[in-house]
Amino acid sequence: MKYGLDFHNKIVLVTGAAQGIGKSISIGFASLGATVLLVDLEQNERRMVEIVNTADDVGGCAELFCCDITNDASVDKMLSDIKHQYGRVDILINNAGIYRTGPSVEYSYENWDRTSAINVRSHFFMSTKIAKHFMIPAGRGRIIFMSSTAAHFGVPEAVAYGVSKASTLQMTKALAAEWAKYNIHVNAVNPFFVATDLIAFFDEKTVESIAQKSPLKRIANPEDIVGGVLFLCSDLANYITGVHLDVDGGRTIAGS
């Protein structure tokens, strides 16, 4: 048995791949030989083109798909193109997400619905479609949900987000149990604060105080999340399913 990591001949689909954590994960896989299918909104096409070039430079390859994952027809069209072109998806990274804040008494239907549409509904159906058409027939597969430490705690003024992330942990466990018989591993990764656009609305002082409360005394960079994702998608994790991996600098285990 080889205890290294090798994703040559693996097709990896990453949603929300244009920037932030999804971008780092995509390049991480590419550097280990994978073919990465980058999925993000059309407005981010230029960013994805850059990642396609980087993927090439680091020894893998990538192709971009402009797709709003909440649009069912557009997802179906994309998956049918992928089926045609690649015939399979070995690894799915459900990573796209949004974070909309506001006092709960003012929170709009629109923000609630959009959060749950992207962070929950789209990930469920992306997973079921990919399982049905690719992973179950192949008798194997790896699915990662990019959840959050927000799944563990109350998230004041972002209840919709916290609920969405707690939902992905439930999906992780339920799908892990349901699809173990097909040798599909389903796991979650929980970052705490990561320096990406998602949290760009926090001012510097707040971010610094968040960092100081964290045992490792900093917030994460997107690169910090990559190792955990690669691990769970590799042969190193052959008996691991249904878990959530906190990649949070120790924040979850620390006191307030």
Binding of other proteins by 150 (CB under 8 A): no
| For other proteins, the closer CB: 115 or 147 | 147
Closest separation in Å from C-beta 111 to other proteins: 30
User: Could you say which of 15, 19, 31, 44 contacts other proteins (CB under 8 A)?
Assistant: 31
Q: Which of 109, 161, 182, 239 is catalytic?
A: 161
What tokens were used for 130? 């990919």
Distance CA 52, CA 47 (A): 9
Could you tell me the smallest distance in angstroms from the CB atom of residue 5 to other proteins?
A: 6
Total residues at interface with ligand NAD (CB under 6 A): 28
* Stretch of 105-113, 143-151, 200-208, 241-249 contacting other proteins, by CB under 8 A: 241-249
Q: Which does 201 bind (CB under 5 to 8 A by kind): ligand NAD, other proteins, none?
A: none
Among positions 199-228, residues that touch other proteins (CB under 8 A) are: 215-217, 220, 223-228
Contacting ligand NAD within 49-78 (CB under 6 A): 68-70
Exposed, middle or buried, 247 (CB in 10 Å: 0-12/13-18/19+)?
A: buried
3 state DSSP class of 5: coil
In 3D space, the residue among 231, 135, 154 whose CA is nearest the CA of residue 189 turns out to be 231
Q: Is 3 an active-site residue? A: no
Identify the residue whose tokens are 């997802």: 75
H or E segment and range at residue 247: strand 244-247
Task: Give the orientation angle of helix 226-233 with respect to helix 20-31, to 10 degrees.
Answer: 50
CA dihedral sign of residues 2, 3, 6, 12? positive
> Which residues make Cβ contacts (< 8 Å) with residue 54, sequence separation at least 6?
27, 30
Choose the contact partner of 98 out of ligand NAD, other proteins, none; CB within 5 to 8 A by kind: ligand NAD
**Is 170 a residue that touches ligand NAD (CB under 6 A)?**
no
Q: Is 21 in the site for ligand NAD (CB under 6 A)?
A: yes
Q: To the nearest whole angstrom, how small is the minimum distance from the Cβ of residue 33 to other proteins? A: 9
CA gap 82, 176 in Å, rounded: 24
Cβ atoms of 249 and 191 within 8 Å: the answer is no
Question: Rg of the chain's alpha carbons, rounded to an integer?
Answer: 17
193 binds, among ligand NAD, other proteins, none (CB under 5 to 8 A by kind): ligand NAD
Phi, psi of 220 (to 5 degrees): -80, 155
- Decide if residue 105 touches other proteins (CB under 8 A): no
The only residue of 172, 193, 198, 233 in contact with other proteins, by rule CB under 8 A: 172
State the catalytic residues.
161
Binding site for ligand NAD (CB under 6 A): 15-16, 18-22, 40-41, 44, 68-70, 95-99, 118, 146, 148, 191, 193-194, 196-199
